[in-house]
Amino acid sequence: MSPQPAAVKQAVTERANGLCEYCKSPADYSPQPFSIEHIFPISAGGDSDMDNLAYACQGCNNHKYTKTRGIDPLSNHEVALFHPRQDIWGIHFGWGDGGLEIIGLTATGRATVHELQLNRKNLVNLRALLLLADLHPPME
């Protein structure tokens, strides 16, 4: 797969307000560059249209890999993972533990929290620091 053109990267980044579209971490405070992620993977027939691209931190991108479905830990049913172009973040997720952890509010949210490990230790630590600086949770 060829690299994304700069204009596409910029458009996807701006659409996401510089935040990972899964864990809501800000790229400005990440030690690793963010990726333009294919929501529905190329390997499964996805394309590079803007509607199939998401801005993702390296951790979320790596945990998602080619997954589009996951197991809801509450119901034990397989469900679709969060799709940033089709789903609304605030319907599927909320902030718990004083804003440090992402809580799945729906089966899709819970499966996505689990599969992408949206409460990885480094993310919780980053959220705590950003909270102290009054930079978390992100404004949308």
- pLDDT of res. 1: 46
Q: What is the DSSP string of 44-112?
A: GT---SGGGEEEE-HHHHHHHTT--EEE-TTT--EEEPP-TTTS-HHHHEEEEGGGTEEEE-SHHHHHH
pTM: 0.94
* Residue 83 placed within a domain: yes
* Residue 113 placed within a domain: yes
Average pLDDT over residues 109-125: 97
Tell me which residue range forms the domain holding 66.
6-132
Average pLDDT over residues 82-100: 97
Q: What total of structural domains would you count in the chain?
A: 1
Quick: pLDDT tens for 1-60: 456 789 999 999 999 999 999 999 999 999 899 999 999 999 999 999 999 999 999 999
What pairing do the DSSP bridges indicate for beta strands 78-80 and 69-71? antiparallel
Q: How far apart are CA 25 and CA 3, in angstroms?
A: 23
* Residue 137 placed within a domain: no
* Residue 98 placed within a domain: yes
Q: How confident is the model at residue 139 (pLDDT cuts 50, 70, 90)?
A: confident
Average pLDDT over residues 99-107: 98
Q: How far apart are CA 78 and CA 121, in angstroms?
A: 25
Percent of the chain past pLDDT 90, that is, above it, reads: 94
